[in-house]
Amino acid sequence: MQIRLRLFATYREIVGSRGLTWSARDGITLRELVDGIVAKYPRLADHRGSMLLAVNEDIVSAERVLTDGDEVALLPPVSGGAR
């Protein structure tokens, strides 16, 4: 199945893209998906502890089972507002 991936700030810089499509086996969990992404982009590994995960614009747990067409976003810690 196809998962749409969205990347922001530091993660975008590491991966070199704002968004890409990721092929995954059916029934994969969010955690397994992220394992695969980190394996391909090892510089993401340092950020795993502070990474927030959203599926279809909602923050969800890493145990979430993904479905074809889901939009998964890897979110760095936020820093809105002024400096």
Partner 1 sequence: MIDVRRARIDLEAVLDSVRRDDAGAIVLFVGTVRSDEGIRALDYEVYRPMAIKSLTALAEQAKEKFGIAEMSIVHRLGRVPVGGDSVAIACAGIHRAETFAACEWAMDEVKRIVPIWKTEVEGRAKSVRGSR
Number of residues that bind partner 1 (CB under 8 A): 17
Dump the DSSP string for the chain.
-EEEEEE-HHHHHHHT-SEEEEE--TT-BHHHHHHHHHHHSGGGGGGGGG-EEEETTEE--TTPBP-TT-EEEEEPPP--S--
Q: Is 16 in the site for partner 1 (CB under 8 A)?
A: no
Shortest distance (Å) from residue 21 CB to partner 1 = 17
Q: Is 60 in the site for partner 1 (CB under 8 A)?
A: no
Site string for partner 1, 19-58 (x = CB under 8 A): -----------------------------------x--xx
Do the beta carbons of residue 41 and residue 34 sit within 8 Å?
Answer: no
Contact positions toward partner 1, by CB under 8 A?
6, 8-10, 12, 54, 57-58, 73, 75-76, 78-83
